[in-house]
Amino acid sequence: MPRRWLVASVAATLLLATAAVVGVVVQRDRTGEAGDPVAAAGVDSRSPVGAASATPTVSESVTVSPSAAIGTAATVPSTSVTPPSVTSTSVPAAVAGDAPLAGRIKPGVTNQGVATFYDSDGGGACLYDPGPDPLTAAMNWADYEDAKACGAYVLVRASNGASLTVRITNLCPQPCRVGQLDLSAEAFARLAAPNLGEIPITWTLVSPAVSKGISIRYKTGSSRHWCAIQAIDHRNPVARLEVQAGGQWKQLQRTDYNYFLSENGSGCGGAIAVTDIYGQRLVVDPLPIKPDVVQATSLQFAAH
């Protein structure tokens, strides 16, 4: 073979080998991109959630405050004490969306309604103390369900795309309709212009992150002969409360003012078991009967 043809053949072979190597590298890079679960799902982690959009205003001013009268009902300032010794005998929490002890308000269900607003201090029919959190709401009577809604967190969405999470602390009486939430003025203003007065919304039960454990409070007048017990700062709605008496657990009846009542004193001062709508049960060791004192624990329901 002539020398010039030999040189040309070698050069062609090298060129083909280089192209093959480049092709492998490019193919590996493309495979890496396709294998990226975020890219494959089309998810942009930078997208804001619940960002409020501008809301047009109207010339007519609307005044709504159906829950204002309830917002100041029988709220008593209380003091806190050092967390007592507590134990947990909680059963494994049910899977998300499975809430066998839920009432009208169920996880995973989107509720339709309207939002109004009133001047709220965080107190009200649930008999929680007024607090610094401005994002609260009063629940309509049907969904309040004799205080079963007290302490529940709901995610509220407006038609303009704005959303926020509020805690139920009060009752919105008639003329509030089924599905209606009477928001604190601060909460409403984050969803729409206050002069709109009323806006269409959807809302859903949520189980948000919380910064503290559940607290227990004995009502004014409680003793070993009669007591009413309240659970406070629970992540999920409370379905039942039990007390230990005579070596057995006794379930107490819930009142519409959000206390569980032991009229004959059975279990007053004993261990307390609190169960959420998902079936998780937390047991608190016996606490001293100190009326109107918020007694903190280190226990909290699991997120769902």
On whether both 180 and 236 belong to a single domain, the answer is: no
Which of the listed residues 206, 238, 254 is the one where a domain comes to its end? 206
On whether both 222 and 274 belong to a single domain, the answer is: yes
Tokens read off for 178: 């089924």
pLDDT of residue 68: 55
User: CA triplet 90, 235, 124: central angle to 5 degrees?
Assistant: 130
Per the DSSP assignment, residues forming a β-bridge with 275 are: 240, 281
CATH number at residue 85: 2.60.40.760
On whether both 153 and 293 belong to a single domain, the answer is: no
For residue 227, give its domain range. 79-103+210-304
H, E, C per residue of 228-239: EEEEECCCCCEE
Q: Is the peptide bond before 237 cis (omega within 30 degrees of 0)?
A: no
Q: CA-CA distance, 98 to 116, in Å (whole number)?
A: 30
- Give the residue among 284, 275, 273, 263 at the shortest CA–CA distance from 302: 275
pLDDT of residue 98: 85
Which of the listed residues 169, 189, 206 is the one where a domain comes to its end? 206
Structural domains in the chain (count): 2
Which of the listed residues 174, 206, 238 is the one where a domain comes to its end? 206
On whether both 128 and 194 belong to a single domain, the answer is: yes
Residues 101-149: tens digit of each pLDDT = 999 999 999 999 999 999 999 999 999 999 988 999 999 999 999 999 9
Q: Taking a C-beta distance cutoff of 8 angstroms, is the pair 124, 70 a contact?
A: yes
Q: Taking a C-beta distance cutoff of 8 angstroms, is the pair 240, 253 a contact?
A: no
Local mean pLDDT, 10-residue blocks, the chain (304 residues): 40 39 35 33 31 31 46 40 40 56 96 97 96 95 97 98 98 95 98 98 97 97 98 98 96 98 97 98 98 98 97
Positions of E strands within 129-236: 136-140, 153-158, 163-172, 181-184, 199-206, 215-218, 227-232
On whether both 184 and 200 belong to a single domain, the answer is: yes
pLDDT of residue 49: 30
CATH number at residue 183: 2.40.40.10
Q: How far apart are the first and last CA of the chain?
A: 78
On whether both 130 and 202 belong to a single domain, the answer is: yes
On whether both 151 and 197 belong to a single domain, the answer is: yes
pLDDT of residue 187: 98
On whether both 194 and 117 belong to a single domain, the answer is: yes
pLDDT of residue 77: 40
